[in-house]
Structure 1
Amino acid sequence: MKRLLMLLAVCLDFVHVSAQINTSQINTYSIAPPPNAAALARYGEIPVSLYSGIPSIEIPMFTAQSGQLQFPVSLTYHAGGIRVGEVASRAGLGWSLNAGGCITRTIMGLPDEQGNGFNSIKDRGGLKQGYGVTDYADSYLMRLGSGLEDTESDVYYYNYNQRSGKFMYFDSAYRTLPYSKLHIGDLDNFKKYIVDENGFRYEFRDAESSSTSSNVSESFINAPQAWYLSRIFSPDKKDSIILMYEDFSYSVSTRQEQETKKILYDFTTGEYPATVDEKTESSQMISGSLLKSVTGTGFQVKFYYSARTDATDKKIDSIVYLDGKGNRMKKFLLNYSYFSGAEKLRLDSVIEYGSGTQSLPAYKFSYLNPNSVPHLTSLSQDHWGFYNGKQNNTLIPYIVNRLGREEKLADRETDTAYLLNGILNKIDYPTGGYSTFEYQGNDYGWIKNGEAAPVYYEKSMSAGARLRYNTLGVPGAKSDTFQIQQKQEVSISYYITNCNDNVPCTSYNNLPSEGVVALYRIQGTQKILILQYYATELDRSTEGQVFKTLDPGTYSIDVNVVNPYDYLRGMVGYKLFTDSVITRKRLTGGARVAKITSYDGITHSNDVIKRYEYTMADKSYSSGVIMGLPQYHYSYTQLGDDGHSAMCGKRYTYNCYTSFSQMAPGSSQGGVVGYRRVTELLNTKDSTIRTVSYFTSAYNYPDWTIQAPPFPPAISFDWRRGLLTHKLTYGAGNELLLWEKKKYAIMPDFSYSVQNFKVQQRSFCVGSAIVNGKYLETQYNTEYFSHKTDWMPLISDSVITYSRGMRDSLLTVTAYTYDTTSLNPGVVTRTSSQKTITERFRYPLNYRTTATDNISAGIRNLQQLHILAPVIESWTSYSTGTDSGVTAGRFVSFKTDRPYPETVYKLMLNTPVNNFIPSAVAGGAVTKDNRYEPVIVFDLYDNQGNVLQQHKANDMTESFIWAYGNRYPVAAVKGMTYAVADGIVNAGIVSSSYDDTEIRNRLAALRNTAGVLVNTYTFRPLLGMTSATDPSGQTIYYEYDGFGRLSLVRDTKGKILKMISYNYQAPAAQ
């Protein structure tokens, strides 16, 4: 049988590597200005995903830089609620360390790359077509059903560079969902790489695999299930970041993750066998990795770990940031405890140290009801796996027994009294300020595009009948009729006895009572039996309580006495609903933020308070949309010989009830629910702002699902959801300030699909007869389905801005069309006040060139390096209805052998023109309008991409000398070529020097040349500028404290010009 192997080990580390070439803003190279006083950490900047209601909580640490590459390190917290089965990461429950990246996958059947895996499906002749929803088995279906061949795509998930998403194999290439221009491929041994739209390459070489042991079986997937980020390269391969890992194996013990009750039906001979209980308790051994270090040019980051008591995995103790010589720049210490009872790792604080022994005040974290977090093995779970506090003995919600009676086994409903336990509710900042978070449980008003059933006012009611055999010796009956207004679960209790007057109880005539308690549905003059109960005990009473779901209608509870001493009682508990609706909000799993209060540590009059409401305009309606409700039931049939029938002539039908949904309930943007409409209320001492936002959701774009065997996976369209469609902003007095409407469209050129096929055995018999290659007594449920990807960008944005008092308004409409080669805007049109401004853009792949000149060769080089995003040409035009013309234009050429700008051209116009000619390819070369003139020329670069010489049109040449491992510019010389400057100072020696005195002495010779302007600088690598000397020889010196913050500014004689101290507000008394 096919198995769905879910990787239990999640990506602990996520990469955030910023590496962008923004050629649309190319200017002459300039040296960064002198440092300003470091700003104290900003407090309370907590953005919220309004669509999911989940706040984005991040603790920034530092950003390391290696040439063109940046490597930020931070901690993030997922505030969507804590699931019972959630294992704390190496940074604590709910927390993730952002310092790396990974690709994981869900293996569907066989691994894609194995011999009969999905990637070989074309070589196997493609999917065999023509099977019905139910079909007799043949050799092909049996091979699929037994796992010998694979017809389902694995699903891959990536997270790096502040980007995350998923991809799959579509026929001959990997494609992301939604479609993007990421280029994804395989390295040796099925390792992965990703090249982004700017040519930056990410290699995922460190693989992770796992084996699973359970009380049923053991399994080992001889294929990787995760690949960790190992290397990052700039497009020119001159800059790189290397991540090093240590092999580390650990186990993860899971809860009783699967439980099934199998009830046999259609059994005519002998006694029914007992209900089959199947329970699977498993643990997973992961052969994984620990991130130990990250190394770039001039920096290293080291990670230190220690053991923990809640798992055999480790926890992160500290992160140390070092310069190229091994000197410590920063250190972050993470302090932990454990959620009592749950024994799950809890992050309590983060302390920053500088280069010395001093530390800043800590980030401190508080959690709601930390002593009431459930253990991993708790059965107190709602349908979505969140804690509900119910005393369950199983996770199977219900069964229907052989008599058709529904028996409730577990309460899996959401309970907000327990749901929020253990969630982060306060952050104390080093500044003395804090942020507090108040949450609510999620709710919903829609299931896809169907309105959820409302919640009515209700009253508990009961109907009952009781009767004792009378003294006249006459049998009798009694009945009570009641109405069920809407479908509901009712309780039925019964009591039957025929004890005589003796003690102890002795049954009349030494037989159980023959009385009956029965429930009927009344239809006209007919009474249809629903269920009935007889006495089963001798010399004692027979009693019990069951639960049954009843449809609307008229019912009666009846009792009948037959013999002396019979006494019977039957009671039905049900609910009476009024016509008034309480609410159209139904609870579901997970948390959403309701209020965020940010205090600056100085005065509460500065508090920033944000409140959130997740309702439609009619506040009795939740705006939440879920994908569907869980389904816990399926059935199958076994054919065989019961001793009375021919081989395979007897049918055994099993109804199976499980602890897990046969279809995943689905998710939206990382949450259980997506909200169609959200109101945010912002209150500060200066203003009150209310915004109402509307989003696309599963109401508009539901997943494709089939809630029946063989239960194919949902086809998700999550990328179409959570898009802002309308936004209204109100000020004081509910005055409308801004109205905005956005439209999106699916681009058919980027729609792809890949067909899959899933089978599940429906019936089988060992001795099944074969006719024309078909096993007649063995059947399969089958389903063809297709995974899809597409791209749905913004195509228009309309904004109306209102003046105070709404006396005037201004409508601005921006329309977008897109360049299909880069997915960037190709044409942007803005219309306002009867005037239209249009900007047009061209990108590298817009030029089909054979590189017969330098400009086309430079563009061809970009294409070969998968650098798709830079703007080669842009021009702007206007139209008023009576007048039009091109007003500006710019063209950028690139070096032929390296992806660096060479010349920036500007369209030289005195007045708008109507005869502008956009650049094009002719004869393999790029042509452009003859009014373009060069304004900036980058004459010379070194091997690391540093500018060595440049000049503006009709201006003097400027050259640059670099030092500190060729990473920092130490001289800017106007009026001198680089070759002359190199001859004076020997730039090769200066470039490798880290000594400020040596650098200053060598650069001093530049000032002896007449007619040049020389600015010189020194730096502390990774910290900042330490001195700046102007052309007159006056020097300003900059000094830093142990935390890398500017502390002193001195003049050329050492006199203090500025002294800066950093004082933190003491934390408020608790």
Structure 2
Amino acid sequence: MCLLTLLCSLLSLHAQETTNENAFDYEAELNRSVPIPNSPEAEAFTQYGNTPVNMYAGSPEISIPIYTHQGRELNLPVNLSYDASGIKVEQLATSAGLGWNLAVGGRISRVTNGNPDDYIQSGITPYVSFWNNDVRDKMLKYREESTSFATRDSVVMYFDFMNSISINEIDTQPDYYSLNAIGINDYIAFDVETRQAYALNNPHIKVDFITTPAAANGMRSITKWTVTGADGTKYYFDEAEITDFDGDDMNQQFATFKTYNSSWVLTKVESANRRDTYIFNYTKLAPWAQNFSVSGYSAYTYTIDENTPANVPSPPFVTSSVPFIRIEQQRLDNILHNGKEIVSITYQNRYDIGASDAIDAITIKNGTTQDYKTYDFLTSYFGINDNQSPSGQQASDIRLKLNGIDIRSNTNDLYQKYRFEYFSPAQVPSVVSKAQDYMGYYNGKGSNGVLFPEVTVGQHTFGGADRSINFSDAIKGTLSRIYYPTGGYTDFEFESHTTPAEIADVDDNTHTQIYASQLLTGNIDNNVDCQSPDSFCECGSGWCNDEYGPGQSPNFTNTSFDIQEAGNYTLKYTETNTGGGNVPSGGTGIKAYAFKVSNNTNCGPAPVLDTDQILNPSGNGNLLIDSTDVVFSKYDDQYQLDVDGEMSAYLTPGCYQILLVNPNNQITQFLQVSRVETTIDSPEELADVQRAGIRIKTIKDYTDTNELATEKEYVYKVARTSTADSSGNIIFNPQFYAINNGLSLSGPDDGCSIIDATSISVVGSSSGGSQPHVAYSRVYEILKKGTTPEDNGGYTRHDFYIDQNTGLYSSGVPPNVSSYRPSLAVGQQIGSAVFDASYTALQETSSESATNSSSYKYFGSFGLYVVNKPEKNFDLLVSKPYLGGYTYDFQQKSYGLYSTGAGDGSTACAYVYPDRPLDWVLHIRNYVPSFELRSSAAQGAVGGMISQTSTQFFGNASENKQLQTIDTYEYDNSIGHLLRKKTTTLEDDEQITQEYVYSMELNDPVYLQMQTRNQLQMPIETTTTANNAVSVRKSNYSAIGNGFYPTSIEITNNLINPTTGATSNNPNEDRIYFEYYSNGNIKMSYQLDISNNSTTPSATEQINKVSYIWGYDNRYPIAKVANASHSEISSYVSSLVSLAQADNDRTLGYSGNEGALRQALDAMRNDPALSHTQISTYTYDPLIGVTSMTDPRGYTMYYEYDNLHRLKYVKDADGNILTENEYNYRFNN
């Protein structure tokens, strides 16, 4: 909490400024600055129930508040959260129980991409990553697929590099790091070239790290991180969790086993002005005694030919790899605030993981050794009945289960309870069960002996696991009911995810609908007018860097096409040799792009953009199209073609364009966009289809007498009718198999010839990403107030922005390459409408947020990986002259029938090197050069709300009475996309604008100091224009102690002449000044009597003076003295602070330590020298509340609390009871 300063109110100023704040409200400013306590009666009781829901993903957001420590400027929340998206078979329980997570502190977690980039120890022969200089240099060199080399050796080095990637000798896929701390949720990625780390969702977050010294091969291990938020808050991650990984794989040389830091826990937080320091202390536990892994990696490849039977029940040659994993966890033991313990956690042994990390109790401290309250965790285990002992069970068969929480006072009195119930807890399967649906949820198929699924390709079915969904099994282990301390409870009802049927869901006639198709054979015109619209020149003169040569135009085609319906489309791109030979992959100067131009769905075939609007004509040929609008780029690092040159792309309605450029007359390009569509005989065939996972259906809140209080129902459809289609969209769909069209060698009986061969590769697991499997574009939230239709409470329609391949997303199949594209608007609500019980619209809101195409992109990096091209499995690598250097090509081996030399006439297939031109050189390697290099992407971008329209409806619908407000937002990329201007347009077209200036823009010494602390986003000046008036609010900061605080706030009001637009010359100005103690607490506030026209404040000019004295470890104001400067009360400060520090009892009058403090405060109040002042004084029980309040008249009110820290009595100055509170909680066992 931003205690005692204006810092937080200023940070949120742009969200809170209103048009009627032109006049300076001195009291309001003061109330925002100093937390003068309200009476305890005015504090609201804790609210239970009313569970919020993430409707985009269909998951309720369930949280149990434990405690929030009120800091001086930074609060520390301690919450228990529950993931209600469903329990997966291989999901392990946290220390709080399966599905639960104790949300306190934070951590940075590695998201391994390929192999860990850095490590403590690796393999028999250590692999290297971009931390190795040679690897980094080659990654930068080969980032754009290389086809032109200075020497023949360079050609070989290129293929050796790809081979090293394929065998894990080098890792060229940089990892990602998930960052979660107080107020920050982001991802971190490294710039390969600079090796600097960047946050991907906020350019103002600063990321630093420390590694071990580099080894001879350049490798090291990241040991610590320091993250500085945009407000200057500093987070330290100084302790790591270590993972030991034994891959048990086929590769016996590189990356077979590795030891690396897999996550780093938050160990310290320093608030922006260093007024709060939180320390998190951990115990490093021994590695787990058990190894938990079932899916690992299992796969097979089967070649399909005319002899393949219709059913292949047990595919031969299954490759399996079950990694052995041990983790040394960091267990949080306690938390300190400014050196004093505030939270301690005790643990007990657990039987599902061999570690002492099942939470036994969380104790809240009062800053001393005294307990404030304790939360006892009541646990048992999933997978067994209540009467079974966990000690005799296999660890993999059970998982920790949180049954409830008992809340006790410091005298061990039980006064509140939570209890939790789950669906079929005893039937939760073993974590090593193979009874999993395609997303890993339990499906009850206990006969599964493997995880790779049954696959049908054409007329052939290959045996495997039944990975179908079964909702009745998938729901097992999920939270079903919460009992609250009030005695009331909430019931959760779930159902399966659904989406409209897709092609794979219907068995009917299908056809391929082609939306665009372009074929281009290359050539180059050596004598062309570059100004001609029929030419393609990167530049028209010899001075620029034109890769085709000055004044030379390659063949090109440029066309547009329309997409009318959002969905998954197939994009195919191939290059073939016009003469029938092999094609050097890429070919210098060959370009291919498909990209979105606009949202117009009727643009026709004529190109919307000319070539010089697509590619930079200045000489570098760089793409001018925003990378997020690119559907396909020959060199694009996001998109991945399979061995047939095909990929799936999610296209939204709009106009798209294709550009092919080709100077090589030996190469023909082909690019096509299509989709398989079906002819449906009956509408029933396209009914909604159930998908894996669960979504919330209803949430019912009951009173302590079992009466239904409220019910919310969630309907996931495009319209509020039972026949409407589901609004579900498949965002991530796991891919378990791939079809490879390659080559095979026939046997001696068939002449030893190379023939076409189709093979299927099937895997048992598929990596996902940060987006859900299914997301919803529209959800109806229906409020029911009872059990009959007449009790309908109306409904709200919610609309969400949907997109694929955002956040951290994966290719889904080996090599499981991950990319990152900021989600921005994805999952954000873009519209809502509220209807009353009669279904009459009350309010409608629509909004537009920045998408990737309109965002500010501040960072980009990449990774490299290789794919195997099976059509080159019998090829030999050659180098040949090309454009003054060399390029690569391939020659197929020549096979024939040759004698074995055994003397018995036996023969075998063997090959000889084919003939080649004299200037071609054969390079024999110990690997098959069937590689193709591709790249992945990491992008840092930030966006925000662009506009929001809110309409309120009044009266009858036929009257069409409405009030509309439109807010538009403008951002400034020069300051990292911060909000620069907000404009509100009212119903009568009146506009109110607010413009902002931030601390990062100013060059005054104090702001330069703030910038070194990374305090960048502080709004310093806000200009509001409305009704021909301009109001400027400016905060002037100074460095005080360890922080920066506003020492004055000024508001200047000007009038605008509506005719000339000129502002007045005599502005009205108000100003409030602040003085501070060195610890950042406000010492005094005042205004100036500007009637003397003095610009320098003096004691005689100060008016509206208020001075403060702070106690109880400088956390609470114990005296507020109006009409007095601090110098007038300074003689009392030291003794009052000491008496407040000594206050450790609860008394009336002047008895005891609290009474001694009251007596000293009264003595100050009664000082004749202060008779002109008004003094209010306070005493406290820290963490509990105010215990007495004495007003300026000297009248005291007392507040007494019971052993459970609840307000019990309010008493007058004579100790008479004015009010009494009784608490009667109904406990549910």
The 3 A distance-change label for structure 1 pair 588 and 846 is same
Q: Is the contact made by 2:295 and 2:765 (CA closer than 8 Å) also made in structure 1?
A: no
The 3 A distance-change label for structure 1 pair 650 and 302 is farther
Q: 1:162 and 1:949 mapped to 2: Cα distance? A: 31
Say if 2:691 is the partner of 1:585: no
Say if 2:1030 is the partner of 1:847: no
**Counterpart AA for 1:817:** E
What displacement does 1:628 show?
Answer: 4.7
Q: 2:318 and 2:1070 mapped to 1: Cα distance? A: 80
Say if 2:979 is the partner of 1:813: no
Work out the number of aligned pairs and report it. 902
Q: Match for residue 792 of structure 1?
A: 943
Question: More displaced, 80-89 or 362-371?
Answer: 362-371
Q: Is the contact made by 1:104 and 1:156 (CA closer than 8 Å) also made in structure 2?
A: yes
The 3 A distance-change label for structure 1 pair 394 and 1028 is same
Say if 2:229 is the partner of 1:196: yes
Partner of residue 241 from structure 1, selected from 278, 294, 306 = 278
Q: Match for residue 53 of structure 1?
A: 58
**Counterpart AA for 2:699:** I
Q: Is the contact made by 1:886 and 1:914 (CA closer than 8 Å) also made in structure 2?
A: no
What displacement does 1:798 show?
Answer: 1.1
Say if 2:1060 is the partner of 1:901: no
Unaligned runs of 5+ in 1: 1-17, 457-483, 488-575, 850-855, 879-883, 919-927
**Counterpart AA for 1:781:** E
Partner of 1:872, secondary structure, is strand
Q: Is the contact made by 1:585 and 1:622 (CA closer than 8 Å) also made in structure 2?
A: yes
Partner of residue 155 from structure 1, selected from 165, 168, 176 = 176
Q: Is the contact made by 1:843 and 1:868 (CA closer than 8 Å) also made in structure 2?
A: no
Q: Match for residue 1023 of structure 1?
A: 1184
Q: Is the contact made by 1:845 and 1:863 (CA closer than 8 Å) also made in structure 2?
A: yes
The residue correspondences of 1:631-670 to structure 2 (distance < 5 A) are: 631-634=735-738, 655=759, 657-662=761-766, 664-666=767-769, 668=771
Q: 1:428 and 1:380 mapped to 2: Cα distance? A: 32
Q: Match for residue 161 of structure 2?
A: 140
Say if 2:268 is the partner of 1:231: yes
Q: Match for residue 250 of structure 1?
A: 287
Partner of 1:256, secondary structure, is coil
Q: Match for residue 189 of structure 2?
A: 168
Q: Is the contact made by 2:245 and 2:257 (CA closer than 8 Å) also made in structure 1?
A: yes
Say if 2:1007 is the partner of 1:859: yes
Q: Match for residue 246 of structure 2?
A: 213
What displacement does 1:257 show?
Answer: 1.5
Q: Match for residue 1222 of structure 2?
A: 1061
Partner of residue 322 from structure 2, selected from 281, 284, 303 = 281
The residue correspondences of 1:74-153 to structure 2 (distance < 5 A) are: 74-112=79-117, 116-118=128-130, 126-129=140-143, 131=145, 138-153=159-174
The residue correspondences of 1:491-890 to structure 2 (distance < 5 A) are: 579-602=682-705, 604=707, 607-617=709-719, 619-634=723-738, 655=759, 657-662=761-766, 664-666=767-769, 668=771, 671-684=772-785, 688-698=793-803, 712-746=817-851, 747-760=854-867, 775=925, 777-806=928-957, 807=959, 808-820=961-973, 821=975, 823-845=977-999, 847-849=1001-1003, 856-878=1004-1026, 885-890=1028-1033
Partner of residue 332 from structure 1, selected from 345, 363, 375 = 375
**Counterpart AA for 1:804:** G
**Counterpart AA for 2:140:** G
Question: More displaced, 1024-1033 or 315-324?
Answer: 1024-1033
The 3 A distance-change label for structure 1 pair 600 and 213 is same
What displacement does 1:343 show?
Answer: 1.4
What displacement does 1:285 show?
Answer: 1.1
Q: Is the contact made by 2:422 and 2:479 (CA closer than 8 Å) also made in structure 1?
A: yes
Partner of 2:1031, secondary structure, is strand
Q: 2:932 and 2:764 mapped to 1: Cα distance? A: 20
Say if 2:486 is the partner of 1:431: yes
**Counterpart AA for 1:753:** G
Q: 1:700 and 1:643 mapped to 2: Cα distance? A: 45
RMSD: 3.9
Say if 2:1126 is the partner of 1:965: no
Partner of residue 472 from structure 2, selected from 417, 420, 426 = 417
Q: Is the contact made by 1:420 and 1:441 (CA closer than 8 Å) also made in structure 2?
A: no
Q: Is the contact made by 2:784 and 2:794 (CA closer than 8 Å) also made in structure 1?
A: yes
Partner of 1:860, secondary structure, is helix
Q: 1:65 and 1:1054 mapped to 2: Cα distance? A: 30
Q: Is the contact made by 1:674 and 1:698 (CA closer than 8 Å) also made in structure 2?
A: no
Q: Match for residue 480 of structure 1?
A: none
Q: Match for residue 406 of structure 1?
A: 461
The 3 A distance-change label for structure 1 pair 368 and 780 is same
Q: Match for residue 1042 of structure 1?
A: 1203
Q: 2:234 and 2:980 mapped to 1: Cα distance? A: 25
Q: Match for residue 1072 of structure 2?
A: 936
Q: Is the contact made by 1:54 and 1:80 (CA closer than 8 Å) also made in structure 2?
A: yes
Q: 2:351 and 2:399 mapped to 1: Cα distance? A: 9
**Counterpart AA for 1:198:** D
Partner of 1:411, secondary structure, is coil
Say if 2:362 is the partner of 1:319: yes
What displacement does 1:268 show?
Answer: 14
Question: More displaced, 146-155 or 342-351?
Answer: 146-155
Question: More displaced, 408-417 or 175-184?
Answer: 175-184
Q: Match for residue 1213 of structure 2?
A: 1052
Q: 2:444 and 2:6 mapped to 1: Cα distance? A: 47
**Identical residues among aligned pairs (%):** 24
The residue correspondences of 1:174-193 to structure 2 (distance < 5 A) are: 174-187=197-210, 189=212, 190=222, 191-193=224-226
Q: Is the contact made by 2:942 and 2:977 (CA closer than 8 Å) also made in structure 1?
A: no
What displacement does 1:744 show?
Answer: 2.1
What displacement does 1:80 show?
Answer: 0.4
The 3 A distance-change label for structure 1 pair 265 and 678 is closer
**Counterpart AA for 1:633:** Y
Q: Which digits, 9 at most, give the CA deviation of each residue in 1:98-134, with x for residues without a partner? A: 1221110122245445795335665567241454899
The 3 A distance-change label for structure 1 pair 620 and 702 is farther
Q: 1:179 and 1:985 mapped to 2: Cα distance? A: 44
The 3 A distance-change label for structure 1 pair 950 and 369 is same
What displacement does 1:409 show?
Answer: 2.2
Q: 1:366 and 1:697 mapped to 2: Cα distance? A: 34
Q: 2:477 and 2:748 mapped to 1: Cα distance? A: 60
Q: Is the contact made by 2:697 and 2:713 (CA closer than 8 Å) also made in structure 1?
A: yes
What displacement does 1:58 show?
Answer: 0.6
Q: 2:6 and 2:342 mapped to 1: Cα distance? A: 18
Q: 1:56 and 1:722 mapped to 2: Cα distance? A: 15
The 3 A distance-change label for structure 1 pair 989 and 706 is closer
Q: Is the contact made by 1:859 and 1:893 (CA closer than 8 Å) also made in structure 2?
A: no
Q: 1:708 and 1:998 mapped to 2: Cα distance? A: 73
**Counterpart AA for 1:579:** S
Question: More displaced, 107-116 or 1033-1042?
Answer: 107-116
Partner of 1:105, secondary structure, is strand
What displacement does 1:651 show?
Answer: 9.9
Q: 1:917 and 1:144 mapped to 2: Cα distance? A: 68
What displacement does 1:158 show?
Answer: 1.4
Q: 1:89 and 1:912 mapped to 2: Cα distance? A: 65
Say if 2:449 is the partner of 1:393: yes
- Give TM-score, length-normalised by structure 2: 0.68
Q: Which digits, 9 at most, give the CA deviation of each residue in 1:973-1024, with x for residues without a partner? A: 2233223322244356457544424433443442212322222211111221
Q: Is the contact made by 1:170 and 1:754 (CA closer than 8 Å) also made in structure 2?
A: yes
Q: 2:283 and 2:39 mapped to 1: Cα distance? A: 41
